[in-house]
Structure 1
C-alpha cells in the first residue's frame, strides 16, 4: 500500500521537479512512510513520485518508481495484486518473463504490461490498485484504477500541466493551484454525505472511476483534453450479465459450499503479506465471516480488533469478543470514551482531504489506529450488504412502496401537502392524546418528524425514486447557493428494466455508495495511520458470483444475507450471530447538543455562512435550532454542513 503522484506537461526544470515532486510526496507520506522515490525526465516533461508502505518484498527490489526489464516502462503503483504469482507463471509459460529481481507484485505488473499490453493485463489482475505507467517509447501516460474502487486516484490540469495523485493534497502542492469550489459537487455532498466519482470538490479535478483507465499522449496534452475513461471492467455490466445468467443448484447445501469456496479463495489470496496481518471484527455477519475463513486457513490465531463505546445502542464490542473467543483469535478490544472520539474530529479535514460526512469515519479511524499498533495489514468485512441484500433500508423501501403504491399518485400528493401543512409539534400533540389506545409495541414515540420526512415519499413515482428519497439528506437547491446538480447514480430514478427493484437498489449502492463512501472512508482512515486494508468480500470474482445468485439466496423468510449467513453458521453458532443490525456509528445527535455545541455554533454562525457564500443560512439555522431544542433530530443534515465548513476552514488556513 502506497501513495502516488506525478506531473505530465508544463515547463519545469530539474530543480522544479525535485522541489514539486518532493512536496507532493511529503504531504502523502502517511500512505507510505517506509520509503520514497522520485523519477523525472525533463525532456519528456514527466515526473513521478512514490511513497512506499512495504508489504511484499521488503527489500530494495521493491523500490518505486520501478523500471521494466527492457527499460520501456516506468511505474508507480498503490495497491496489491493478489494473483501476481499466477501471472508470473503464465508469463514464464509464454516465455515473456524477465530475470526476476525480487518477488514484488509491481515487478510482475511491469512484465505483464510489456508482454500483454495495458487492457489485457488489467483484465487478468485480481487486486486493488491505482497505477501510473509511463511509456518511454511512445511517450504516453496511463492512469488506471481497480475494479471496485478500493484505491483512489485524482487527476486534472493545473496551470500548464496534468497532475495526479492518491489524494487531493498532493495536487494542492502544484504551482498555480486555484482550488475553485465545484458547487455541483457540494450539492452532491449535501444530498448524501460524499462526493461520487468522477467529481471532486474542486472544479476541474476528477476522480478516476473504478474499472477504467486513461491514456494521455502528447496530442491530448496539447489540447488540454481529459479523455473519456476506457472501461476494462464494469460493476454495472457485471451485475446485468450475472442477473441474466442465474446459477442453479441442486440443493441449498451445494449453494452454501459454492459461496464458501469463492470466499475462501478470496480470503486466502488477501492473506498474502510479508508483514503482520490482522482483521477488523465488529461482530456482524460480514466481518465475522471474513475472520472465520481467515482462521480456518491459518495455523496460528488470527489477530482481530474491535472498539467499543459505553453509549447504549453503539457498542458491538461485546458480540465481537464472544465470536473471537469461539474462533480462537488473538483479540484486542478498546473501549473509547465520547471524548476520545470527539478528539478525532479536528483531524478529519486533513484525513479525508475533501469534505466527507459519513460520521462512521470516526470509529473507523479509531479501530484502524488500534490495529496499527500491532499489524500493518488488516482485512475488512465491507461489501456484504451491497452484494447480499443486507441493508435494512432495502426492506423498508420495499415495504413502504407496497403500502403507498396502491393509492393513485394524485391522492398521495394531496395527502403529502396535508401532512406538511401541520407542524410536527402539532402531530406530536395529537398523537399523545390517542397513544393510550395503541399497543406499546406499536407506538412511535414522537411521530411528527417521521410524518414530515415521510411525506416526500408519497410523491414518488416508482420504488427506485422512493429509495433515492430514503438516501437523501438535503435537497441541494434548498441549501447550496448557485448550485447546478450534477448527474450521478444518486439522482437517477429511472428503472432500468434489466433488474428487479430490489436488485436495482443493491446496484445503486454497489456503484456509488460502496466505492465513494464505504471504501473511501476506510482507505483514508486506515492510510492516516499507515495501515493497509483489504476487502475480500468485493473480490470481483465474488461480486460476479453474487450477481448470479437468485434473490432467494439473498433474502429468505425475512432474513437478509441468507446464503452468507449459512456459510458463517458453519463456523460460528447461530445464537452468536442472529441479532438486530447495529451499524458502526457514534451519537452525533447528542454530541451536537452537548460537547460539540460551541464548535458547531461557530461553524454554523449565520454571518459566517453569508460571508463565505456557499450556503443559504435560513434552512441550516432552522434545523440547528430545532435540533438544539430536541424537537427534531437533524444530525445527518447538520453533519453534512459541519464537515464542509470544517474542511473549508482547514483548506483556507493551508493556503
Structure 2
C-alpha cells in the first residue's frame, strides 16, 4: 500500500531539477500513505515526473523501491496497491525466462507489462491497484484503477500540465492548480453524501473510474488543458455491468449444497491470497455476517491466532462489540477491543477534511477511523468484510424499494400521472416520509428511479447550490442493467458500481491510510463477485433471511446463534452531536452571513433546515451533515492552497 503522484507537461521545458523538486513536494503530501520509503523519477526531455511513497508490505528490502524501471528500460512504474496472485504470475514469467532480483509484486507487474502488454496484464492481475506507467517507447502515460475501485486515482489540469495522484492533497501542491469548486459535482455530494467517479469537487479534475484505463501523451494533455471540460477517454478493461449481464445469462443451476461448496472454495482462496504479507495481518471484526466470514476463513487457514479488532461505544444501545468478542472467542482469535466515548468520536471530526481532502459525508467515517487506528497499533494489514451487502442482497432498503415499485404498479395510470404531476411541489419534505415520500416516486420510469429516491439525501440539490445545473450518476438510470436481470439485480449493480467504490471503499481507504494501514477486502475478489451475480435471488434471500448463502458458509465455522443476528449499521449519532457538542461548530459553519459571503450555498435553502432542526424537527441532520462536511473541507482546502509556494 502506497501513494503515488506525478505530472505530464503539454510541452517539455522545465529543468530536470525543477521537475524532480515539484514531484517530490507532491509525493511528500502523501507521507501518511507511505512512511517507509520515498522516490522520485523524472525525464525533463519528455516532460514527465513520477513520485512514490511506500508502505512496505511485500519485499521490505530496497529491491521494492519505486518508481521502478523495467529490466529493458521501456517502462517506469509508480504503483499503489497489491496484486494478490503475483506469485502465480511470477512463476509463469519465470517459465518465459524472466529472472527476478527481489520478490515484490511491483517487479512482477513490470515484467508482465514487458511480456504481455498493458491490457493483458491488467486482465491477469487479481488485486487492488492504482497505476501510473510511463512508456518511454510510445512516450505516453497509462493510468489504471482496479476492477472494483479499492484504490483511488485523481487526475486533472494545473494550468496546461496534467497532474495526478492518490489523493487531492498531492495535486494541491502544484502551484498552478487553481481549479475552483465544481458546483455540479457538489450537488452529488448533497444527494449521495459523496461525489461518485468520474466527478470531482474541483473543476478540470476527475477520478478514474473502477476498471478503467486512461492513455495520455503530450498532445492529449495540451488538448485537455485547452478544453473547458477535458475529454476523459476512460476505457474499461473490466465492466461490472457487462460481467453481471454475462453471469445472469449463464446462471448457477446447482443445488444449495453445491453453491455453498463453491462459495466456500472461492472465498477461502480469496482470503488466503490476502493473508500473504511480510508484515503482521489482522481483521476488522464487527460481529456481522461479512466480517465474521472473513475472520472464520482467516483463522481456519492460520496455524496461530489471527489478530482481530473491534470497537464499542459507551452507552450505546446498538453496540456490536459483545457480538464480536463472543465470535472471536469461539474462533480463538487474538482479539482486541476498545470502548470509546462520545468525546473520543467527536475528537475525530476536526481531522476529517484533511483525512479525506474531498468533501465526504458518510458519518460512519468516524467509527471507521477509530477502528483503523486501533488495528494499526498491532498490524500493518487488516482484512475487512466490505462487499457482502452489495453482492448478497444485504440491505433492507432493497426490500423497501421493491415493495414500493410493486405498489406503484398497482396504482391506476390516471391517478399515478396526477400524483407525479404534484410530486415536484414536495421538495425536501419528501425526506420526512409519508405521502410526500410516496409522491416523490410516482413518476418513476423503473426500479432505478425508485431506488434513487430511497438513497437520496437532498431531493433537489440544485436548488441548494448557487449556479449549479446538476450532475448525473449511475443512479439516474431507470434500469441500471439495461433490461437484463431483475429489479433486485439492478439495485445491487447500482450500489456495486457507485456506493461501494465511492463511499464504502473510499471511507476505508482514507481512514486506514491516514494511519498507514493497508485494508484488503476478500469478498470483492472479482471471482467472488462474478459467482455471486450468477446466483438466483433465492440463494441470497430466503424466508426473510438476507445473505442466505453467505450465512450458510458462515454456519460451517460458528454456531447458528452466531450466524443469525439482526443487522446493525456501523454509524454515528450525528443528530445527537449536532444538538450537543457540535452545535457551536455547526452554528459557525452554517451562519447565514458566512454562507452569503462565500456564495456557494443558497442561504434560503440551507438556513431554514438548520433552524428547523434546532427546533426539534427530525431528519434534517442528514441534509445538514453533508453541507457541514463541505464547509469544513472548503476552509481546509483554502488554508492548504494559501501555503503552497507559487515560486
Q: TM-score range by the shorter chain?
A: over 0.9
Aligned equivalent of 1:239: 244
* Residue 15 of structure 1: how far off its partner (Å): 2.8
1:181 matches 2:167: no
Give the secondary structure class of the aligned counterpart of 1:76: strand
Aligned equivalent of 2:103: 103
* Residue 326 of structure 1: how far off its partner (Å): 0.7
TM-score normalised by L of structure 2: 0.94
In structure 1, the gaps of 5 or more residues are 426-446
* Residue 423 of structure 1: how far off its partner (Å): 13
Point out the more displaced range, 368-377 or 150-159.
Answer: 150-159
**Partners of 1:356 and 1:448 in 2: CA distance:** 23
* Residue 544 of structure 1: how far off its partner (Å): 0.9
| Cα deviation 1:569-614 (Å, max 9, x = unaligned) | 1111121232221110010011111111111111111111111111
Partners of 1:169 and 1:353 within 8 A in 2 = yes
**Residues 494/542 of structure 1: CA separation in 2 closer, same or farther (3 Å cut):** closer
TM-score normalised by L of structure 1: 0.93
1:507 matches 2:493: yes
Partners of 2:383 and 2:520 within 8 A in 1 = yes
**Partners of 2:492 and 2:526 in 1: CA distance:** 15
Aligned equivalent of 1:471: 455
Aligned equivalent of 2:234: 229
**1:13-162 residue pairs with structure 2 within 5 A?**
13-95=15-97, 97=98, 99-162=99-162
**Partners of 2:479 and 2:376 in 1: CA distance:** 44
**Partners of 1:422 and 1:28 in 2: CA distance:** 45
Aligned equivalent of 1:4: 4
* Residue 67 of structure 1: how far off its partner (Å): 1.1
Q: Find 1:546's aligned residue among 518, 532, 535.
A: 532
* Residue 140 of structure 1: how far off its partner (Å): 1.4
Give the secondary structure class of the aligned counterpart of 2:558: coil
**Partners of 1:632 and 1:340 in 2: CA distance:** 25
1:631 matches 2:635: no
**Partners of 1:614 and 1:203 in 2: CA distance:** 14
**Partners of 1:153 and 1:419 in 2: CA distance:** 39
**Partners of 1:477 and 1:414 in 2: CA distance:** 24
Partners of 2:160 and 2:222 within 8 A in 1 = no
Give the secondary structure class of the aligned counterpart of 1:155: strand
For the aligned residues, what is the CA RMSD?
2.0
* Residue 18 of structure 1: how far off its partner (Å): 2.9
**1:410-449 residue pairs with structure 2 within 5 A?**
410-412=414-416
| Cα deviation 1:165-215 (Å, max 9, x = unaligned) | 000110111121113110111011111101011110000111111111111
Give the secondary structure class of the aligned counterpart of 2:519: strand
* Residue 295 of structure 1: how far off its partner (Å): 0.5
Partners of 1:290 and 1:381 within 8 A in 2 = yes
Give the secondary structure class of the aligned counterpart of 1:175: coil
Aligned equivalent of 2:580: 594
**Residues 34/579 of structure 1: CA separation in 2 closer, same or farther (3 Å cut):** same
| Cα deviation 1:488-543 (Å, max 9, x = unaligned) | 10222246211210100000001000011110010001000000000000101111
Give the secondary structure class of the aligned counterpart of 2:80: strand
**Residues 413/280 of structure 1: CA separation in 2 closer, same or farther (3 Å cut):** same
* Residue 410 of structure 1: how far off its partner (Å): 4.0
**Partners of 1:545 and 1:39 in 2: CA distance:** 41
Aligned equivalent of 2:594: 608
Aligned equivalent of 2:289: 285
Give the secondary structure class of the aligned counterpart of 1:223: helix
Give the secondary structure class of the aligned counterpart of 2:191: helix
**Partners of 2:112 and 2:617 in 1: CA distance:** 61
Point out the more displaced range, 400-409 or 103-112.
Answer: 400-409
**Partners of 1:423 and 1:466 in 2: CA distance:** 16
**Partners of 2:351 and 2:425 in 1: CA distance:** 42
| Cα deviation 1:322-350 (Å, max 9, x = unaligned) | 11111111110101111111110010001
Give the secondary structure class of the aligned counterpart of 1:80: strand
**1:360-375 residue pairs with structure 2 within 5 A?**
360-375=364-379
**Residues 380/342 of structure 1: CA separation in 2 closer, same or farther (3 Å cut):** same
* Residue 247 of structure 1: how far off its partner (Å): 1.1
Partners of 1:220 and 1:227 within 8 A in 2 = no
1:195 matches 2:199: no
* Residue 637 of structure 1: how far off its partner (Å): 0.8
| Cα deviation 1:210-266 (Å, max 9, x = unaligned) | 1111111233234336451221111111111111110111x3111101100010010
Partners of 1:145 and 1:210 within 8 A in 2 = yes
**Partners of 1:405 and 1:312 in 2: CA distance:** 41
How many residue pairs get aligned? The number is: 632
**Partners of 2:607 and 2:434 in 1: CA distance:** 20
1:267 matches 2:271: yes
**1:207-226 residue pairs with structure 2 within 5 A?**
207-224=207-224, 226=231
**Residues 627/227 of structure 1: CA separation in 2 closer, same or farther (3 Å cut):** closer
**Partners of 1:277 and 1:106 in 2: CA distance:** 20
* Residue 465 of structure 1: how far off its partner (Å): 1.2
Aligned equivalent of 1:318: 322
1:329 matches 2:333: yes
**Partners of 2:438 and 2:614 in 1: CA distance:** 22
